[in-house]
Structure 1
Amino acid sequence: MNTRNLFVTVALLFSAGSVYAQTGAQTNTPFGSGEDSIRCRQNISLFSTHARSGNFQEAYDFWLKAYEECPASTKNIYIYGVRIAEWRLQNEQDPAKRQEALDMLLKLYDDRAKYFGDDPKYGLDFIMASKVSDYMRYMGDQTDYNKIYSWIKPAIDQYGQNATPRALFYLGYSSLNKAIKDEAWHDNYVKDYTYVTEALDKQLATADDAAKEEIQPLKTQTDELFALSGLADCETLVRMYGDKLEANKTDTTFLKNMLGMFHASDCENHSLYFQASKYLFAVQPSATAAMGLAKEAMESNRYDEASKYLQQAISLSKSARDRAACNYTLGLLEMRQGRYASARTYCNKALAEDASMGDALILIAQMYAATANSIFPGDAIKARCVYYLAVDKLQRAKTIDPSCAPRANRLIGQYSRNFPSPADVFMHPDLEKGKSLYIGGWIGESTVIR
């Protein structure tokens, strides 16, 4: 055989061997072919065994070979790969190597999306949400929200409002953080927020109890972040909902979402809020709508009508906090009309629903102080003792609700100046420091002489 024929023969043999031994990465197949296919399966088996038992050090070399040579073979490459990358991050002290491990972790998610992004259960939206979660966990204050938005937005575009709740949340959250740093992004954030909250509302409407436990906290947090962002002013809300209200006046999801946002942003005095409340109450009587209608009636001093709506709100509400707020408002209405005993009854009902409602005790204290002279009309010294009781209520209000302490302290300072002087107490035949005094009239409670 001459040299030329020998060369051709060797080349053909080499080519034939390549056909029978090629990696999955080279052939764009899950396992590759020939010996490479066998080695791929062996590496998968070996790294899976070690990784399942938490022995990531032993698993690493086998896993890396499988990842490099047959990345489309099994999702386990990426499921265990994330754990291996996290193991490296937790055990690596060198900043450069930690960054290398983080880069590998993020690339794992990109490659999983490339090879398994069409998985019917754990598709692109799930994968990108997981990537965002890990990225934020390791980056902390250095998180780049432009990156997060660029990762999550294509998944939302692909899956629409059927995307996973966590992916939807991250879209809104990253958009908010972009808006905080860039005023030009504000309108985009409002659009993203509206899209996310509508999607989560729709998912909640058809979710089972287990799914609701995941969706509802994300929905609540999305709304709270919007309300606290400073971007949710009344003008913005009117621009968001104003043109859509008439077209959606029978859409309970739209109306509840709108009313919730106006409430969270302290825009309940706007005429649009009242109109939405009327539409919702007509379609589906609810506590939220009844409270909105009550507020409108109060603004116009239609107290009887306001009281009727508040009573309906109490009967419809499943929230103890909302029932407490309604009872407290009924107390305010009764106080404005001089019906103090009834007002106190409603305040006590509010406290029964929400034991930390300091405002209810403050209102009772104010009513006690306002009627002090009528309790002991012929005894100015005893009348001033009513302020002891008012201050008792204010002290309790501070204890159960620290947020109302500034208000309570201001009133305590004001009312304490009306206490009888030590000389007044000493000279009065019915009073003695440290002894109990019954305050009659509509109050009917006892206090201690200071």
Structure 2
Amino acid sequence: MKIKKLLAVGLLLLGTSAVSAQVDENCLSNSSISHESVKAGNFKDAYAPWKEVIKDCPLLRYYTFTDGFKILTSFLDANEKGSAEYDQYFIELMDLHDKRIEFIPQFNANGVTNIPTPAGALGLKLIDYLAYAPTPDVNQAYAWAKESIEAERENSQPAVFFYFVNMSETKLQQDPSLKETFINDYLLASQLADEALAVAKDNHKPVYQGVKDNLTALFINSGAADCESLQNIYGPKVEENKDNLEYLKKVLEILKNMRCTDQEAYAQAAFYSYQIEPTAEAAVGCGLRAYKKGDINEAIKFFDESIELEADATKKAEKAYASATVLFSAKRLSQSRSYALKALSYDANYGNAYILIAKLYASSPNWSDDPILNKCTYFLIVDKLQRAKSVDSSVSSEANELIRLYSQYTPSAQDLFMLGYKKGDSITIGGWIGESTTIR
């Protein structure tokens, strides 16, 4: 009896092995046929054997998935949306994406490299979904984009950055109460696009820069980018979160990035943030808050502290420049110049600091009883503007416009000749300015 049982088990195992070998042989054969057909662009003949492979042995080769995407998208491109064939192939395409996401960890365990992560594959599914879905579900697309981008971060596909914000904007159009969510989504995608751009290979940089530009255009055109809207969103919430340092820092970052630092929400967030943790950014906000209240000395005290707290030289320059602009508005010209020069000591290529000095001089050009000599101040003003655009191309447009404006006030050669000056002579501008320039 025992011998019969052992024989039966042995025959059963032999049969199983034979079936397994047959499956493997069929898989290898179908895989070879479908893959060669795909390489030849013959997707019709590739389809049937490929379906057998993806059904019976999906882990045989990773290219089974990449081949499948080529086959199914070619069929979708060849059929009309709304047809039964189109709907069938679309369902198969989404199922194929789901299957790839499911099996990626096993491919990784088997030593297969250079394939997307499950979150990255979800992003690729999103791209195909939006390209081919008969009627895309905005909420579903947004959920996939959010899940993918939060997991992949700067490694996300460039298109996923855009679709994430694009779907968020569409949701905002359907529900205006989602404005804060949309703003946060834009800031996240923009930040990650910047990080991706910073580490991208040279041939990929134009792609990420294009995405970054499209994100900016989308945000500006959304209607959610104005400072008044941001004040309405964050003003009440700053009070509610005055003990929540993380939230306060987030508000400061958003309002700073959107150049809305003159809003009350920014000043209040800075004040509360500073009480919890004095930082460079919080000190700047407190300085602006003091300035708005008319306390210039208090504002400068906070600006000085912000410079001390800041470690990055470029950001130190920005904060010194902010101090200079506040002092200029308060007509403290000499003190304003000191801070503009301090900005240049941290960043010698800070063109805006030179432009500010030029404006300071233009606001107070008179230093002599002779009006012709006073006009010589404009030679020095043009010097500063020429210097600004020579060190910083980003300010060239403004500098050129100011050069055109101020050049018309320089004295004529005849007037200078009567005072004993000619082209090429040096002249010292007196008064609080105390700098030399060249007659031309």
Same-fold call, TM cutoff 0.5 = yes
Q: Alpha carbons of 1:338 and 1:244: their partners in 2 closer, same or farther (altered >3 Å)?
A: closer
CA deviation after TM superposition for structure 1 residue 304, in Å: 1.7
| CA distance in 2: counterparts of 1:371 and 1:35, whole angstroms | 94
Offset at residue 286 of structure 1 (A)? 2.0
CA distance in structure 1 between the aligned counterparts of 2:189 and 2:380, rounded to whole angstroms: 52
SS of the counterpart of 1:391?
Answer: helix
Q: Which moved more, 1:294-303 or 1:192-201?
A: 192-201
Who is 2:423 aligned against? 433
Q: 1:177 to 1:153 in 2, by over 3 A?
A: closer
Count of matched residue positions in the alignment of Structure 1 and Structure 2: 392
Separation in 2, partners of 1:112, 1:84: 10
Residue by residue, what CA displacement relative to the aligned partner does 1:65-105 show, whole Å, maximum 9, x if unpaired?
A: 6630132533575556437856999xx9xx749x999x979
Contact 2:30 2:49 in 1 (8 A): yes
TM-superposed CA distance for 1:231, in Å, is 1.3
2:136 aligned counterpart, secondary structure: helix
User: Which of 43, 51, 60 is matched with 1:68 structurally?
Assistant: 51
Aligned residue for 2:9? none
8 Å contact from structure 1 (residues 125, 163) kept in 2: yes
More deviation, 384-393/257-266: 257-266
Asked if structure 2 preserves the Cα contact closer than 8 Å seen for 1:365 and 1:394, the reply is yes
Alpha-carbon distance in 1 for matches of 2:325, 2:346: 17
Matched, 1:256 2:249: yes
Measured in 1, the distance between the counterparts of 2:404 and 2:188 equals 48
The amino acid across from 2:382 in the alignment is: V
Q: Write out aligned runs for 1:182-261 (5 A).
A: 183-188=173-178, 190-194=180-184, 228=220, 229-261=222-254
Aligned residues of 1:175 and 1:192 also touching (Cα < 8 A): no
Alignment of 1:129 with 2:120, yes or no, is no
Structure 1: which amino acid aligns with 2:122?
Answer: M
CA shift, 1:46, in A, is 8.3
2:14 is the counterpart of 1:38: no
Deviations 1:113-169 (A, max 9, x none): 146438669676432212345788xx7xxx999838455344468x69964433884
User: What is the alpha-carbon distance in structure 1 between the residues aligned to residue 213 and residue 137 of structure 2?
Assistant: 18
SS of residue paired to 2:230: helix
Query: Aligned-pair RMSD on alpha carbons?
Result: 4.9
Amino acid corresponding to residue 97 of structure 2 in structure 1? R
Measure, in 2, the Cα distance between the counterparts of 1:335 and 1:145. Answer: 59
Identity, in percent, stands at 28
1:82 alignment partner, one of 35, 53, 66 = 66
Name stretches of at least 5 consecutive residues in structure 1 with no aligned partner.
1-19, 22-31, 204-208
**Paired AA for residue 394 in structure 1:** L
Distance verdict in 2 for CA 1:234–1:422, change over 3 Å: closer
1:389 pairs, out of 370, 377, 380, with 380
Question: 2:277 aligned with 1:294, yes or no?
Answer: no
User: Does the 8 Å CA contact 1:78/1:109 hold for their aligned counterparts?
Assistant: no
CA distance in 1, matches of 2:326, 2:143: 52
Q: Distance in 2 between matches of 1:160 and 1:255?
A: 27
Partner of 2:435: 445
Over 3 Å counting, the alpha-carbon distance change for 1:354 and 1:135 in structure 2 is: farther
* 1:330 alignment counterpart: 323
2:243–2:276 contact (8 Å) kept in structure 1: yes
Structure 1 residue 34: deviation in Å? 6.5
Distance of aligned partners of 1:336 and 1:162 in 2 relative to their CA distance in 1, 3 Å threshold: closer
Distance 1:323 1:368 in 2: 24
Change (3 A) 1:185 1:118: farther
Matches within 5 A, 1:106-117: 108=93, 110-114=95-99, 116-117=101-102
Change (3 A) 1:146 1:312: farther
User: Greater shift after overlay, 148-157 or 419-428?
Assistant: 148-157
Q: 1:40-86: per-residue Cα shift (whole Å, max 9, x none)?
A: 145458888x89xxx94499899756630132533575556437856
**Deviation string for 1:281-307 (max 9, x for gaps)?**
222222222221111111122112211
